[in-house]
């Protein structure tokens, strides 16, 4: 199968990691996988580390030159399937297909839980402009069905797979030593792009309210809220107990070093990969019932969900985690493997290709 992934986003986060992870797994199963992305995007730069070939073109806006560039590339490559991941590249691919003799299948993946505009062009895009839709969570799938964007038989929820050979329990003492973190502290951690709706500001405030001298907070990631978060951290009671590590290509040591993972997102989430990774490592998690998060932690005993933007509730949950340290049996998430994701996505791709063949 020849697969052409398209991504118009210039940034970096869970969506881009999902694309490259999925591409890598399919490549390892001997499919031909190509990534089409804007030449200045971060995903184009980082794809090399995943051994994924990138075809860089202008792919940032719904404009004529981007349309022509993508259309020419599709005609040249003749993929069996185009896997679209953002609104811009989906529109360009769907419209380009209308003008071609070669009609590849199109699958759109909806990664986040932000509302979709309910108008006839968008309904056309999700129905006639795609042969199948994938979502990263059940909640997102149900929303699209309820709003009438797509028939239930054409949309599938497939969470991101986790490399369980990498994300597994480790030696916290050893990792703390390597990261120069205090051995005797209770350490909270978050791994996420620093965007406002990820809740870093709420987390820093809740950490301050703990007023717990023997606790630390590590923040892994970068983004537009970095300066603001660093400024907030400096105003806390124990600013030296808050550590910013920036973007890391390997987050496993950080997850293995912490006592509790906290992700107080209040909008837009699908199924956060870092949350699944933390549960695969076996640490307790605290988050909010946004998007696909509730279904992600269902059955995971060492999890707490608190109302979004409720710093008091978040503080209480963090204090509860401190008090429970060592009193609960460690559990490990094992259901979201890469192979399970591959087999599930492959079925959707094959369904879409068969639908495209029938349409021809």
* Alpha helices for 180-270 (secondary structure H): 200-210, 226-234, 252-257
Average pLDDT of the chain is 93
* Alpha helices for 216-308 (secondary structure H): 226-234, 252-257, 273-281, 293-297
pLDDT tens-digit series, residues 248-268: 989 999 999 999 999 999 998
Task: Indicate if 172-324 has the same CATH topology as 2-161+338-359.
Answer: yes
To the question of domain 2-161+338-359 being in CATH 3.40.50.2000, the answer is yes
- Per-residue confidence (pLDDT) for residue 188, from 0 to 100: 98
**b/e map of 120-132 (b: 16 or more CB within 10 Å)?**
eebbebbeebbbb
* Separation between Cα atoms, residue 312 and residue 210, nearest integer Å: 10
Indicate if the pLDDT at residue 94 is higher than 90.
Answer: yes
Instruction: Please give the DSSP secondary-structure letter assigned to residue 162.
Output: B
Q: Which of the four pLDDT bands, split at 50, 70 and 90, describes residue 299?
A: confident
Indicate if the pLDDT at residue 330 is higher than 70.
Answer: no
Strands in 85-227 per DSSP E: 105-110, 132-135, 155-157, 186-191, 215-220
Indicate if the pLDDT at residue 360 is higher than 80.
Answer: no
The pTM of this model reads 0.83
The lowest-confidence range among 94-98, 142-146, 221-225, 302-306 is 142-146
Place domain 172-324 in its CATH homologous superfamily: Glycogen Phosphorylase B; (3.40.50.2000)
- Per-residue confidence (pLDDT) for residue 331, from 0 to 100: 65
HSE-CB of 32 using CA atoms within 13 angstroms: 7
pLDDT tens-digit series, residues 186-236: 999 999 999 999 999 999 999 999 999 999 999 999 999 999 999 999 999
The share of the chain scoring above pLDDT 90, in percent, equals 80
Indicate if the pLDDT at residue 328 is higher than 80.
Answer: no
Indicate if the pLDDT at residue 122 is higher than 70.
Answer: yes
The CA distances from residue 84 to 35, 52, 205, 283, 352, in Å, are 10, 16, 38, 33, 13
The lowest-confidence range among 126-135, 143-152, 228-237 is 143-152
* Separation between Cα atoms, residue 46 and residue 249, nearest integer Å: 10
The lowest-confidence range among 21-35, 55-69, 83-97, 117-131 is 117-131
Kindly list the domain boundaries of the chain, sorted by start residue: 2-161+338-359, 172-324
């Amino acid at each position: 199968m020849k697969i052409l992934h398209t991504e118009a986003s210039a940034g970096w986060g869970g969506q881009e990691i999902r694309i490259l992870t999925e591409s890598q797994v399919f490549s390892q199963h001997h499919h031909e996988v190509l990534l089409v992305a804007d030449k200045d995007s971060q995903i184009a730069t980082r794809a090399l580390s995943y051994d994924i070939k990138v075809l860089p073109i202008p792919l940032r806006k719904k404009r004529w030159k981007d349309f022509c560039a993508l259309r020419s590339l599709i005609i040249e490559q003749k993929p069996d399937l185009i896997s679209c991941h953002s609104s811009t590249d989906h529109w360009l691919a769907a419209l380009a297909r209308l003008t071609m003799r070669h009609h590849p299948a199109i699958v759109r993946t909806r990664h986040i839980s932000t509302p979709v505009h309910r108008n006839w062009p968008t309904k056309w895009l999700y129905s006639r402009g795609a042969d199948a839709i994938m979502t990263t969570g059940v909640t997102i799938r149900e929303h699209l069905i309820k709003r009438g964007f797509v028939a239930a038989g054409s949309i599938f929820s497939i969470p991101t797979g986790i490399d369980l050979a990498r994300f597994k329990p480790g030696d916290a003492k050893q990792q703390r030593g390597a990261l120069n973190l205090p051995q005797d502290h209770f350490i909270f951690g978050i791994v996420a792009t620093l965007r406002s709706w990820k809740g870093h500001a709420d987390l820093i405030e809740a950490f301050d309210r703990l007023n717990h001298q023997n606790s630390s907070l590590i923040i892994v990631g970068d983004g537009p809220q970095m300066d603001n978060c660093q400024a907030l951290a400096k105003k806390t009671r124990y600013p030296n107990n808050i550590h910013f590590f920036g973007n890391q290509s390997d987050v496993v040591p950080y997850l293995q070093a912490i006592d509790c993972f906290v992700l107080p997102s209040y909008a837009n989430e699908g199924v956060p990969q870092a949350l699944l990774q933390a549960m695969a490592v076996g640490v307790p998690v605290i988050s909010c019932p946004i998007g696909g998060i509730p279904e992600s932690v269902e059955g995971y005993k060492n999890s707490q969900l608190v109302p979004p933007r409720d710093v008091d509730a978040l503080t209480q949950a963090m204090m509860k985690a401190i008090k429970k340290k060592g009193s609960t049996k460690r559990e490990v998430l094992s259901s979201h493997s890469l192979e399970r994701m591959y087999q599930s996505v492959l079925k959707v791709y094959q369904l879409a290709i068969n639908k495209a063949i029938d349409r021809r």
